[in-house]
Structure 1
């Protein structure tokens, strides 16, 4: 194409990657090349973490489970695995790799990486090759640029080092991964799972992956948000203008405003995580808390009016039942998003009676439904069962309870542990709980 454009002076790429640009030819002809770095960094890093969580927690599969009516007919969804605390390895610690590391750190994930040279980040462990990195992480994120050295950097050796419990996340380029080897490893269960935004022969993705429940596939949408596409277009125009005027570029970008109803343990954990995504945090609680970095609103309506994403994380009681009502929803508005990880009755929805879900939601593509699986990971259910046993042992031994909610006067409440999580049923579902 360069030969057909003899007067070309600048190539302003509408992406951060320039692997499709003939750089050598441009250098020979003195053609300037620009891309859109930084503008899309946050969105791609967001998606990397989102794919990791979606793959480990099986969010798309859980959504299909609800929409197909299986929650009501078959009961609880299978247990999954948490992302928090997983060892995250990053191939390429550039802008996007660092943004992924920042976000993963908010989930208490130890970070390691491989790059062509060691970076000045002593808190991140450097590995001299991709195989050693894969052998020492649970989630491997591909975030490097594509060049002859990184082509098929994720090969069979790397995949086998990651292993049957490992998860591969690719938000860079499809050609970073030896795709036939990846498909074989997933089919043969030599690899635990994969979250893929890119493929070798786009728009064609390997059809053998379509039926696997340990794979999440999205159509190269890492930077496809309205905000970033507008910013990228502006930056392309500014690059062209800068070429003519010889001026520097500047394109600021910030995260969504997140409002949290209930700043208790879970609410604070949510705040910690979204701060890593550069999201301003607002909150509502009955009393103002001592967190100067977070903006307090004295009513839920005001909180919703000043949030892009509203997260319900408060306990359910007479004060919080239907705390998200019509007035709150209208304040959140047509571009707002509601996330409820508290209890169904927090939201004014007369049909929200688990496991019954309003069927009108099933056909909507702006809704994600999961069957009350907030704590349904092997790790958490094991810890919950252990804590129940520890409380029972403390009661029998006449010691203080570890997590006492109230004292019983006069009579003794006897709990019989019906099923310990370590003896979970063969179908992977949670135990039936406690019989009183």
Structure 2
């Protein structure tokens, strides 16, 4: 393998760079001025490794007479001159499937973040406004929304699977109709946008899909609609998007990609109905490692004609309390290919044979990457998430509490997060609401919400209707709908 000269275009992954250096004869393009490098080494380069931002254009390909393969550390290969590669007989590989789950996860996460205003609610808590101004404003849910997907390829299909777990109806637009009878096909992006609440862009970037999300599409989506882009920035007509958001013609947007990266339109930075992330769709440790391994495997396959292998799996999610909310959480995380385990008073093997039961919370935590608290609060479950449980969850584990604040020993949690004994936490509830431990406010590995778990317009109306229904039943001497005592 050492005879294979590999040109790495940019230092985008330390593990990949290290392994390329170990396995092949590695050239680092950024270390020497371009023309000087090409004069000295052009004939020795047989492989180029790039990514979504740094690719092999026609000029580079022409400058490398011995080039045999371009291996891209990305799914998108719009930075690679495919026509030139075809003319020269140069093989091109990317990293499909490996990052499918992460991009799909982020797409759903962005939709939820926009609809539930999660970043804004986090800032509300950190600024002390929950205590001084009271409860956070009501938002709206993802569950039950009509989700439209532009491009039903690997990533689009993975998003559809996840959205279905939220009770969302799925429609899509693609070059051709797919064999998914439960999904409604729309011939045009405008028709799709007019028939969905959340429009998610996942298609490949081509001449035909450049600015596929035009003013007409945005207007069809409308003032209640949300646009999520995890494809490429150029899929969206960015000036039209900015104008629609400023004018209230579009309800909100969740963006991972932009037309002129790393620049995001300045007008978006102050908008509360927009969530912006810096092109991190595949940027998890697991996926970057798997992508690097696939790049390496592609290069080795080129040299030795061996098949590629790209294993990947989802996070292990443990749920404390498999009641209504716990079951709904389990259903949703299963759609993310996450194995589910749980702890509660009794095992439910007959009902949930695919879930692993643990008789103690410590055992559950020791076998989970993410621990979700969803049980009722009583004397037995107070401080059920103790120091011992947090130690079992460990420095890579994440704690999510949507139950009640006293479920968690808050002092121990703060200490574990500060000491690095716990990886992170997402908290909607606290022991002494609306007071939040001050030490949490400056932590980057914590997301804090002001007890907004049921704070959507839909749920509050349903709760109000249920209160009214109980009162009317009492007046009419009928059975109560939800009696407690």
The normalised TM-score by structure 2 is 0.83
CA distance in 1, matches of 2:180, 2:458: 30
Deviations 1:17-46 (A, max 9, x none): 001100001001000000000000000000
Q: Gapped runs of 5+ residues in structure 1?
A: 407-436
Q: Which residue of 2 aligns with 1:424?
A: none
Matches within 5 A, 1:293-308: 293-308=354-369
CA contact (8 A) 2:404 2:431 kept: no
CA distance in 2, matches of 1:166, 1:250: 40
Please point out which of 238, 241, 246 is paired with 1:182: 241
1:39 aligns with 2:101: no
1:325 aligns with 2:386: yes
Deviations 1:335-356 (A, max 9, x none): 0000000000000115830000
Secondary structure of the corresponding residue to residue 310 of structure 1: strand
1:363 aligns with 2:442: yes
Deviations 1:377-419 (A, max 9, x none): 000000000000000000110000111111xxxxxxxxxxxxx
CA contact (8 A) 1:55 1:215 kept: yes
Q: Which residue of 2 aligns with 1:354?
A: 433
Secondary structure of the corresponding residue to residue 135 of structure 2: coil
Q: Which residue of 1 aligns with 2:187?
A: 128
CA distance in 2, matches of 1:303, 1:280: 12
CA distance in 1, matches of 2:172, 2:307: 32
Q: Which residue of 1 aligns with 2:287?
A: 228
Q: How far 1:252 sits from its partner (Å)?
A: 1.2
Q: Which residue of 2 aligns with 1:416?
A: none
1:15 aligns with 2:74: yes
Q: Which residue of 2 aligns with 1:112?
A: 171
Secondary structure of the corresponding residue to residue 70 of structure 2: strand
Q: Which residue of 2 aligns with 1:201?
A: 260
CA distance in 2, matches of 1:232, 1:108: 31
Q: Which residue of 2 aligns with 1:101?
A: 160
CA distance in 2, matches of 1:405, 1:249: 58
| Larger relative contact order (CA 8 Å, sep ≥ 6) | 1
CA distance in 2, matches of 1:271, 1:207: 39
CA contact (8 A) 1:130 1:153 kept: yes
CA distance in 2, matches of 1:220, 1:352: 36
CA distance in 1, matches of 2:455, 2:382: 24
CA contact (8 A) 1:352 1:358 kept: no
Q: CA RMSD in A?
A: 0.7
Q: How far 1:246 sits from its partner (Å)?
A: 1.9
Q: Which residue of 2 aligns with 1:401?
A: 480
- Structure 1 stretch displaced more, 349-358 or 141-150: 349-358
CA distance in 1, matches of 2:293, 2:385: 37
1:269 aligns with 2:348: no
Secondary structure of the corresponding residue to residue 368 of structure 1: strand
CA distance in 2, matches of 1:176, 1:381: 36
Please point out which of 147, 163, 166 is paired with 2:222: 163
CA contact (8 A) 2:224 2:251 kept: yes
**Runs of 4 or more off by more than 4 Å in structure 1?**
none
